[in-house]
Amino acid sequence: MLDILIIGGGPIGLACGLEAQKAGISFLIVEKGCLVNSLYNYPSTMTFFSTSEKLEIGGIPFVTVSNKPNRAEALEYYRRVCTSKQLNIHLFEEVLSVEKELEAFTIITNKAIYYAKNVIVSTGFYDIPVKLGIPGEDLPKVMHYYKDPNFFALQKVVVVGSSNSAIDVALETYRKGAEVTLVVRREDVGERVKYWIRPDIINRIKEGAIKAYFSSHLKEIRPYEVDIDTPDGIVTIPNDFVMAMTGYQPNFDFLKKLGITLNDDKLIPTYNQQTMETNVSGMYLAGVVVGGMDTHLWFIENSRIHAEIILADIVAGN
C-alpha cells in the first residue's frame, strides 16, 4: 500500500515526488511516456519564456549559460533531478483505471496493479491538440506538433494561430526557406508572444517575407491547396503542409473516468484551491491540468507550489 501514486512524470509530477520524499512517505510516479514527456515533445529549438530559476523544483538549482534555458537544458535538468534524488518512477506505463474502495485506491496500469491511499493527477495538457473542425484536417500533411524547421525547407507552409508556438514555427520555417503563410483569427499578432520575438514577426509580415491573413480562418484543406476565409472573401493558395498550432487540452475523458467533475464551458475540474483535493476524496490535481481549457493560465513556475500544498494536506491527514 503506497501513501501516494502520482500520475504523470512531468516537472510538477516530479515536484510532488520530491515533496513526498521530503515528508518521508511512500510514493510512485507513473508516466505513460518518457521522462518529462511533454517537454521532450517540444520543438527542438525551443527557448523557454521563464528563467531557469522559475523552472526549478524541490529547491534544486537549475544552472544555465543564458538567463532563459532551452529545451535540451530543461530535459537534462529534470533528468538529473530524477536520478540524483533517486525518485521512484515507472516510465512508459499507462494508467488504465483508478477505482476507490473504502479508504484506498486500486490503480490498474498496462503493466501492473497498485494500491494507494492517495492519488495525485498531474497529467498536463499537451497530449490532445485542439482540432480545427474543418474538411481535410485529417490529411497526413496536417500537423499539430512541431519538432524541427529543416523538415519544411523549400515547402509551402500554412501556419494557423498567433500564439508563441505558431510564431516560432512561422519564423523558423521561413528562415529554412519555406514559403510561409500565417492565418490568424484575431486582428493582430497575439500580445502574449515573447517580447523578443514579436517585433521580428511583425517586421517579416510588413516586408512581405511572410504573408499573413488576419481576422481569417482556414476553411478547407486539400492535398495540394487550402482555402482561407478572409475579410475579402475566400482565398485559395497552393500548399504542401499545414501546421495547426491551435493549442492543446487536458484529457478530459480520463478525468471524467476518474470521477472528477468538470465545471462550465471551460471544463475546469472541481478542486479545493486550499488543498488541491478534487471532489473525489484523496484524489488531488497538480499542475496545468487544473485550468481546464484555460491552459495559458498555468505554467511550471506558478503551479510547482501545488506539490507543497498537496503534501501538506496529505501529511496533516495522516
What are the per-10-residue average pLDDT scores of the chain (318 residues)? 97 97 97 94 86 92 90 95 97 97 94 98 89 96 94 97 92 97 93 88 96 97 98 97 92 94 89 96 95 83 94 91
Give the pLDDT score at 194: 84
Give the pLDDT score at 318: 67
Contact 312, 37 (CB under 8 A): no
Give the pLDDT score at 217: 96
Give the pLDDT score at 66: 86
Give the pLDDT score at 48: 87
Domain 2-128+248-317 matches domain 131-244 at the CATH topology level:
yes
Give the pLDDT score at 46: 86
Class for the domain spanning 131-244: alpha beta
- 3-class SS of residue 183: strand
Reading the block at residue 45, the C-alpha cell is: 529549438
**Angle between helices 11-23 and 305-317 in degrees, nearest 10:** 40
Contact 229, 219 (CB under 8 A): yes
Beta bridge partners of 238: 225
Reading the block at residue 30, the C-alpha cell is: 507513473
Q: For the stretch 65-78, what's the b/e string if a residue is b when 16 or more beta carbons lie within 10 angstroms of its beta carbon?
A: eeebbbbebbbebb
- 3-class SS of residue 80: helix
Residues in the chain: 318
CATH classification code of 2-128+248-317: 3.50.50.60
Which of 317, 307, 316 is closest to 22 using CA atoms? 307
Give the pLDDT score at 196: 87
**Angle between helices 164-174 and 198-206 in degrees, nearest 10:** 50
Half-sphere exposure of 272 (CA within 13 A, CB side): 13
- Global pTM value: 0.89
Which of 76, 90, 86 is closest to 34 using CA atoms? 90
- Residue type, position 84, single letter: S
Domain range list for the chain:
2-128+248-317, 131-244
